Amino acid sequence: MSADSTGSATAAERASTPATPAQRGARALAGGDPVRVAIVGATGYVGAELIRLLALHPHAAIAGLIGRERQGDPLAHIHPHLATRDLRVFDTVPEDAEAVFLALPHGVAAQRVDEFLSRGQTVIDLGPDFRLRDPADYATWYHFDHPRPELLETAVYGLPELHRAELLAAGRRPGAIVGSPGCYATTTILALAPLARAGLLADVVVDAKSGVSGAGRDPKADLHFGEVNESVKAYGAFTHRHIGEIEQELRGLSPVPDANPGAAGVDFLPHLVPMTRGILSACHVRTTRPVSQAELDQLYADAYAGEAFVSVVATPPATKHVTGSNEFRVWAKADERTGRVLAIGVLDNLVKGAAGQAIQAFNVLHGLPESAGLLQLPLAP
Amino acid sequence: MSADSTGSATAAERASTPATPAQRGARALAGGDPVRVAIVGATGYVGAELIRLLALHPHAAIAGLIGRERQGDPLAHIHPHLATRDLRVFDTVPEDAEAVFLALPHGVAAQRVDEFLSRGQTVIDLGPDFRLRDPADYATWYHFDHPRPELLETAVYGLPELHRAELLAAGRRPGAIVGSPGCYATTTILALAPLARAGLLADVVVDAKSGVSGAGRDPKADLHFGEVNESVKAYGAFTHRHIGEIEQELRGLSPVPDANPGAAGVDFLPHLVPMTRGILSACHVRTTRPVSQAELDQLYADAYAGEAFVSVVATPPATKHVTGSNEFRVWAKADERTGRVLAIGVLDNLVKGAAGQAIQAFNVLHGLPESAGLLQLPLAP
Amino acid sequence: MSADSTGSATAAERASTPATPAQRGARALAGGDPVRVAIVGATGYVGAELIRLLALHPHAAIAGLIGRERQGDPLAHIHPHLATRDLRVFDTVPEDAEAVFLALPHGVAAQRVDEFLSRGQTVIDLGPDFRLRDPADYATWYHFDHPRPELLETAVYGLPELHRAELLAAGRRPGAIVGSPGCYATTTILALAPLARAGLLADVVVDAKSGVSGAGRDPKADLHFGEVNESVKAYGAFTHRHIGEIEQELRGLSPVPDANPGAAGVDFLPHLVPMTRGILSACHVRTTRPVSQAELDQLYADAYAGEAFVSVVATPPATKHVTGSNEFRVWAKADERTGRVLAIGVLDNLVKGAAGQAIQAFNVLHGLPESAGLLQLPLAP
Amino acid sequence: MSADSTGSATAAERASTPATPAQRGARALAGGDPVRVAIVGATGYVGAELIRLLALHPHAAIAGLIGRERQGDPLAHIHPHLATRDLRVFDTVPEDAEAVFLALPHGVAAQRVDEFLSRGQTVIDLGPDFRLRDPADYATWYHFDHPRPELLETAVYGLPELHRAELLAAGRRPGAIVGSPGCYATTTILALAPLARAGLLADVVVDAKSGVSGAGRDPKADLHFGEVNESVKAYGAFTHRHIGEIEQELRGLSPVPDANPGAAGVDFLPHLVPMTRGILSACHVRTTRPVSQAELDQLYADAYAGEAFVSVVATPPATKHVTGSNEFRVWAKADERTGRVLAIGVLDNLVKGAAGQAIQAFNVLHGLPESAGLLQLPLAP
Nearest Cα neighbor of A354 from A82, A121, A35, A103 is: A103
ipTM score of complex: 0.94
Is B311 near chain A, with CB under 8 Å? yes
**Dist CA A219 CA D216 (whole Å):** 13
Residues in chain A with pLDDT < 70?
A: 1-18, 257-264
The answer to whether the beta carbons of residues B228 and C214 sit under 8 Å apart is no
The verdict on D293 touching B (C-beta cutoff 8 Å) is no
Q: What's the whole-number average pLDDT of chain B?
A: 94
Q: Which of B 253-282 lie inside 8 A of D, CB atoms?
A: 265-267, 269, 271, 273-278, 280, 282
Shortest CA distance to B276 belongs to which of B62, B48, B95? B48
Give residue-wise pLDDT tens across range B105-161: 999 999 999 999 999 999 999 999 999 999 999 999 999 999 999 999 999 999 999
Strand intervals (E) in C10-164 = 35-40, 60-66, 73-74, 88-90, 99-102, 122-125, 156-157
Burial A343-356 (b: 16+ CB within 10 A, else e): bbbbbbbbbbbbbb
Please give the pLDDT value at position A229: 97
D55 pLDDT above the threshold of 90: yes
Average pLDDT score over residue span B39-61: 98
Neighbours of chain A (3+ CB pairs under 8 A): B, C, D
H or E stretch at C338: none
Is the CB of D229 less than 8 angstroms away from the CB of A275?
Answer: yes
3-state DSSP assignment of residue C94: coil
Amino acid residing at C298: Q
Asked if residue D219 lies in contact with residue D44, where contact means CB atoms within 8 angstroms, the answer is no
Which residue, A76, A141, A58, A130, is CA-closest to A100? A130
Neighbours of chain B (3+ CB pairs under 8 A): A, C, D
Q: How far apart are CA A284 and CA D213, in angstroms?
A: 38
Distance CA C374, CA D334 (A): 43
Measured between beta carbons, the chain D residues lying within 8 angstroms of A217 are 221, 224, 226
pLDDT of residue C263: 63
For residue A335, give how far its alpha carbon lies from the nearest alpha carbon of chain C (Å).
6
Partners of D99 in beta bridges: D37, D122
Q: Which residues of B116-133 are buried (b: 16+ CB within 10 A; e: fewer)?
A: bbeeebbbbbbbbbbbbe
Cβ of residue C313 closer than 8 Å to a chain A Cβ: no
The C-alpha of A16 sits at a distance from chain B's nearest C-alpha, in angstroms, of 33
For residue D211, give the chain C residue with the closest CA: C381
In the structure, what pLDDT confidence band is assigned to residue D4 with cuts at 50, 70 and 90? very low
The residues, any chain, with a CB within 8 Å of residue A314's CB and separated by 6 or more, are A331
How many Å apart are CA C240 and CA A337, to the nearest integer?
A: 13
The reply to whether B323 touches chain D by the CB within 8 Å rule is yes
Of D224, D274, D275, the CB nearest to A224: D224
Of A230, A273, A319, the CB nearest to C323: A230
**In 3-state terms, chain B is what percent helix, strand and coil (to 5)?**
35, 20, 45
Q: Which residues in chain A are closer than 8 Å to C271, comparing Cβ atoms?
A: 209, 280, 282
Q: Which residues of chain C have pLDDT under 70?
A: 1-18, 257-264
Q: Which residues pair with C267 in a beta bridge?
A: C205
**Distant-in-sequence, close-in-space partners of D123: CB < 8 Å, separation ≥ 6:** D99, D100, D102, D109, D113, D116, D117, D130, D176, D177, D178
Residue C361: HSE in the Cβ half-sphere, 13 Å Cα cutoff: 34
The alpha-carbon radius of gyration of chain A (Å, integer) is 20
Q: How far apart are CA B270 and CA B238, in angstroms?
A: 9
| Model confidence band, residue B376 (pLDDT cutoffs 50, 70, 90) | very high
Residues of A in contact with B323 (CB under 8 A): 81, 379
- Identified catalytic residue from A152, A176, A183, A250: A183
Q: Dihedral of CA A371/A372/A375/A376: which sign? A: negative
The answer to whether the CB atoms of C274 and A274 lie below 8 A apart is yes
- The span from the CA of A202 to the CA of A194, in Å, is 14
Backbone angles phi, psi at A209, to 5 degrees: -130, 130
CA dist B139 and A83 (Å) reads 43
| CB–CB contact C265 A209 (8 Å) | no
Who contacts C313 (Cβ-Cβ below 8 Å, separation ≥6)?
A: C329, C330, C331, D83
> What is the Cα–Cα distance from C188 to C186, expressed in whole angstroms?
6
**Residue B212, min C-alpha distance to chain C (Å):** 7
Mean pLDDT across B351-374: 98
Closest chain D C-alpha to C76 CA, distance in angstroms: 10
pLDDT digits (tens, 9 = 90+) for C229-248: 999 999 999 999 999 999 99
Consecutive H or E run containing A274: none
| Structure confidence by residue, pLDDT tens digits, B160-192 | 999 999 999 999 998 899 999 999 999 999 999
Q: Is C231 on the interface with D (CB under 8 A)?
A: no
Q: Across-strand partners of D331?
A: D344
Measured in degrees and rounded to the nearest 5, phi and psi for residue C356 equal: -65, -45
Q: What is the pLDDT of residues A271-316, one digit of tens each?
A: 999 999 999 999 999 999 999 999 999 999 999 999 999 999 999 9
Q: Is the dihedral of CA B351, B352, B356, B357 positive or negative?
A: negative
CB contact under 8 A, A381 and C229: yes
| Residue D265 pLDDT greater than 70, yes or no | yes
Q: What percent of chain C has pLDDT over 90?
A: 92
Report CB contact under 8 Å: D267, B335. Answer: yes
Instruction: Give the strand pairing for A35-40 and A99-102.
Output: parallel
- Pairing of the two strands C279-287 and C201-210: antiparallel
C226 in contact with chain D, both atoms CB, cutoff 8 A: no
pLDDT of residue C262: 67
Q: Is D80 close to C213, i.e. CB distance below 8 A?
A: no
By the CB < 8 Å criterion, does C381 face chain B? no
Q: How far apart are CA C74 and CA C82, in angstroms?
A: 10
C56 interfacial to chain D (CB closer than 8 Å): yes
Cβ–Cβ < 8 Å for D97, D64:
yes
Cβ contact B226–C213 (<8 Å): yes
* Residue B249 φ then ψ, to 5°: -75, -40
Chain B residues touching residue D233 (CB < 8 angstroms): 280, 316-320
Judged by CB atoms closer than 8 Å, whether chains meet at A381 and B82 is answered as no
Residue pLDDT, tens place only, B231-248? 999 999 999 999 999 999
Indicate the DSSP class of residue B232.
-
Distance CA A146, CA D80 (A): 38
Any residues with CB less than 8 A from the CB of B284 and at least 6 apart, and which?
B204, B205, B206, B207, B340, B342, D205, D207, D267, D269, D284
Strand partners, A190: none
DSSP letter at A159 equals -
Residue D1: predicted pLDDT: 35
Query: Which residues of B participate in catalysis according to the annotation?
Result: 183
Round to whole Å and give the CA distance between A177 and A124: 6
Closest CA to B276 of D4, D232, A145, A85: D232
Contact C173, C123 (CB under 8 A): no
Instruction: Say whether residue B223 is in contact with chain C using an 8 A CB cutoff.
Output: yes
**Contact yes or no for D377 and C318 at CB 8 A:** no
Establish whether C183 is a catalytic residue. yes
In one-letter notation, the amino acid at residue C176 is: A
Question: How much is the average pLDDT of D209-216?
Answer: 96
Minimum-distance CB partner of D229 among A219, A225, A227: A225
Strand ranges (DSSP E) for D267-327? 267-272, 279-287, 310-312
- How far are the Cα atoms of A217, B253, C92, C213, C354 from residue C49, in angstroms, in the given order? 37, 53, 20, 11, 9
All residues of chain A having their beta carbon less than 8 Å from the beta carbon of residue B313 are 83
A47, A39 Cβ separation under 8 angstroms: yes
Mutate to test the interface with A, among C230, C240, C277 (most CBs of A within 10 A): C230
Chain B nearest CA to C276, separation (Å): 5
C290 touches chain A (CB under 8 A): no
pLDDT digits (tens, 9 = 90+) for D142-181: 999 999 999 999 999 999 999 999 999 999 998 899 999 9
Closest Cα of chain C to B38: distance in Å?
A: 25
Residues of D forming the active site: 183
